[in-house]
A = this chain, B = another copy of it.
């Protein structure tokens, strides 16, 4: 970005004092109309953006918090956007500000957008979402002392470069395992994301730990991974169902994979709940309407929004915070002896 025009440059070109330029912007009624016209012409010529130059002098902030709307090149939809943005908007308003939406490319390429928003004093800080492995934004913002808080931990690097809130995925899958163990299952499969996906690895850890803690089998042959975490076709479930010693229950790392398992079960004449217990993760709108209903883990979206805004203004609470999802039990994980009222 070219260096921004300064107040001084405008004053010099217009042959007036800095105060006069400031008045032209903030108190035009104080100036003679001819002077005002002259200063404004120079402001236009130089493309001067007063907010940028005057930032340090300003007594008022923009009153806006920036939020980047993710691009989602995979075409997937975040069905929680409605709940999350509504909650976030309301929380930010509670602090007397508003949310400014913008788009930016992922990774380093996107930092120019953040820089431009700051240079124009368009925002006072950022709420980050859609964090990725190696996400450069947190360290970049911290280095510039820009207030921010993140929904989603930064998966690499300690200490974490700033406050964050995240869903405790391991706690969620552990709850699912405990629910299945309580119904007598001891051989519980895990339908995971691609290896190395930190969200999937986290959820797998919870499954593994809870199985070990509660006497269920822990065996790598009980793990299968989905090739497409957004549109799973059931291959992962098929691999476990067709094995020599198939599990009697399946914990899926997300609802899309669990719904893929519905297809794999149906193709084998099996029904979720009745024949094989099945749980998802996310409690998507679909979970409640498929038949039988899909047991899943509901993310505490409203609580996340409240905590993110709190951390934005209280970065001294700079430790990261994991929020526990809630298991919503539906018919897919409960053997009701052939009942079809799922």
Contact B291 A64 (CB under 8 A): no
Give the complex CA separation of A4 and B288 in angstroms.
50
Contact A289 B340 (CB under 8 A): no
Q: Tell which of A77-85, A158-166, A243-251 binds the partner.
A: A77-85
Chain B positions within 8 Å of A67 at CB level:
101
Contact B89 A69 (CB under 8 A): yes
User: Is A119's CB within 8 Å of the partner chain B?
Assistant: no
Give the complex CA separation of A59 and B26 in angstroms.
10
Partner of A85, one of B85, B93, B262, B285: B85
Number of this chain's copies in the complex: 2
A residues 13-72 with Cβ under 8 Å of B?
18-19, 22, 25-30, 40, 43, 50, 54, 57, 59-60, 63-64, 67, 69-72
Shortest C-beta distance, A202 to chain B (Å), equals 23
Shortest C-beta distance, A113 to chain B (Å), equals 9
Contact B286 A289 (CB under 8 A): yes
Contact A79 B285 (CB under 8 A): yes
User: Is A263's CB within 8 Å of the partner chain B?
Assistant: yes
Which of A18, A54, A71, A289 has the most chain B CB atoms closer than 10 A to its own CB?
A: A289
Partner of A89, one of B43, B72, B79, B103: B103
Shortest C-beta distance, A77 to chain B (Å), equals 5
Shortest C-beta distance, A26 to chain B (Å), equals 7
Give the complex CA separation of A296 and B101 in angstroms.
30
User: Is A122's CB within 8 Å of the partner chain B?
Assistant: yes
Contact B103 A86 (CB under 8 A): yes
User: Given A59-B43, A289-B290, do A70 and B98 touch, yes or no (CB 8 Å)?
Assistant: no
Give the complex CA separation of A188 and B177 in angstroms.
46
Chain B positions within 8 Å of A231 at CB level:
288
Chain B positions within 8 Å of A99 at CB level:
100-102
User: Is A170's CB within 8 Å of the partner chain B?
Assistant: no
Which of A28, A57, A60, A69 has the most chain B CB atoms closer than 10 A to its own CB?
A: A69
User: Is A304's CB within 8 Å of the partner chain B?
Assistant: no
User: Is A90's CB within 8 Å of the partner chain B?
Assistant: yes
Which of A30, A59, A99 has the most chain B CB atoms closer than 10 A to its own CB?
A: A59
> Top 8 closest A-B pairs, CB basis?
A81-B82, A286-B286, A99-B101, A78-B82, A81-B81, A89-B101, A259-B289, A79-B79
Q: Pull 30 A–B residue pairs with CB atoms less than 8 Å apart, ordered by A.
A: A22-B30, A25-B59, A26-B27, A29-B57, A40-B59, A64-B100, A69-B89, A69-B90, A70-B86, A72-B82, A72-B86, A77-B79, A77-B80, A78-B82, A79-B79, A79-B82, A82-B82, A89-B101, A89-B102, A98-B100, A98-B101, A98-B122, A99-B100, A101-B101, A262-B291, A285-B286, A286-B286, A286-B289, A286-B290, A290-B290
